[in-house]
Amino acid sequence: MSTFYDEVQALKARYPDWLSATMPALRLAQEKHGYLSPDALRECANALGTTPAFCESVATFYDMLHLQPVGRHMVEVCTNLPCALAGAQRVVEAFEEQLGLRAGETTGDGEITFRTVECLGGCGRATVVAVDERYHEFVTPEKVPEIVGAVRGNA
């Protein structure tokens, strides 16, 4: 069984420059640790041959990389302009009501983190909601209970 260090070396070997392996290495570290804790950043930096500060600086730029603990599932609503015009705020409020929390929080059982995010790239299909890595399009407040039920069913 290969170690995290070995897996990062394999990633680095795919690219002419180790910097290109930074994002996949951070994703790998996040998968292993659940989020990019200080330990995860140190381990990643060691495997890449750089500093934890560099890894953290990259991680802070990307929404999909988490520097704080998150739930086992991630529910994200895009609130950028096209989705906002399609009623994203009402979708956000429906999720907050269904989950009993505010955007940016995690359910008490640690299962679901809910948050708003920048454009998910599906502007023509607003409102877009990402559940883990699966996208739901044309989401309305009426569809929220079904989405939450499906997430809880998978929990």
Residues contacting ligand FES: total by CB under 6 A: 11
Residue 136's H or E segment, with its range, is strand 134-136
Please state, as a whole number, how many other Cβ atoms lie within 10 Å of the Cβ of residue 55. Answer: 25
What's the token pair of residue 43?
């381990």
| Nearer CB in complex with ligand FES: 8/78 | 78
In the complex, what is the shortest distance from the CB of residue 37 to ligand FES, in angstroms, rounded to a whole number?
Answer: 30
Q: Contact between 123 and ligand FES (CB under 6 A)?
A: yes
Tell me the per-residue interface mask from 70 to 109 with ligand FES, x by CB under 6 A, - otherwise. Answer: --------x-x-xx--------------------------
Amino acid at residue number 139 = V
In the complex, what is the shortest distance from the CB of residue 87 to ligand FES, in angstroms, rounded to a whole number?
Answer: 11
Of positions 126, 129, 139, 144, contacts ligand FES by CB under 6 A: 126
Strands 73-78 and 112-117 turn out to be parallel
* Per-residue 3-state assignment (H helix, E strand, C coil) for 1-55: CCCHHHHHHHHHHCCCCHHHHHHHHHHHHHHHHCCCCHHHHHHHHHHHCCCHHHH
Q: Contact between 120 and ligand FES (CB under 6 A)?
A: yes
Q: Contact between 28 and ligand FES (CB under 6 A)?
A: no
- What residues line the site for ligand FES (CB under 6 A)? 78, 80, 82-83, 119-123, 126, 128
